[in-house]
Amino acid sequence: MGYQRASMASISARLGGSKATLYGYFNSKEALFAAVMMTALEEQGEQMLQLLEVSSEDPVATLKTFALRYVSFIRTPELQATIRTTSSSGVGNALGVELYELEPKRAWDEIAGYMERLMEAGVLISAPPLRTTYHLKGLLEAGIL
């Protein structure tokens, strides 16, 4: 039936539970979809973040490894499907906000923390860490998303 046509009532009917129970766990269809998609993608995302936790004598190599993994990750069919569904919901939709708040925001904040540690160590030029992180994200996603 697809995301657009699915309703909480049809989802609960298909699961064999009540709509009230479903709303007890998720306050909207967007929240339910976001939770399902993030659960499916969470393990891959955590593996990428772990790359940045390892203290390395070669942070450039660490960032390159992270970049290659990230580009592979954003090209996965699961993530592409999530992006297509989110994009088709329209600008300013609740689904996009729900998805971003669940996992990507936390992950990019962690990456900014890594960048900040590199700046403090003198490996990178000092700059606003979150802005630097979003520049990296933009470079990695250019031409893919």
Q: Which domains does the chain have, with CATH numbers?
A: 28-141 (1.10.357)
Residue with tokens 């046509």: 5
Report the share of the chain in percent with pLDDT over 70.
Answer: 81
In terms of C-beta density within 10 A (0-12 exposed, 13-18 middle, 19 or more buried), how is residue 53 classed? exposed
Judge contact between 111 and 136, C-beta under 8 A: yes
Identify the residue with better confidence: 59 or 41: 59
Extended beta strands in 40-81, E state: none
- Position 129 scores a pLDDT of 96
Which stretch of 58-62, 78-82, 111-115 has the lowest confidence by average pLDDT? 78-82
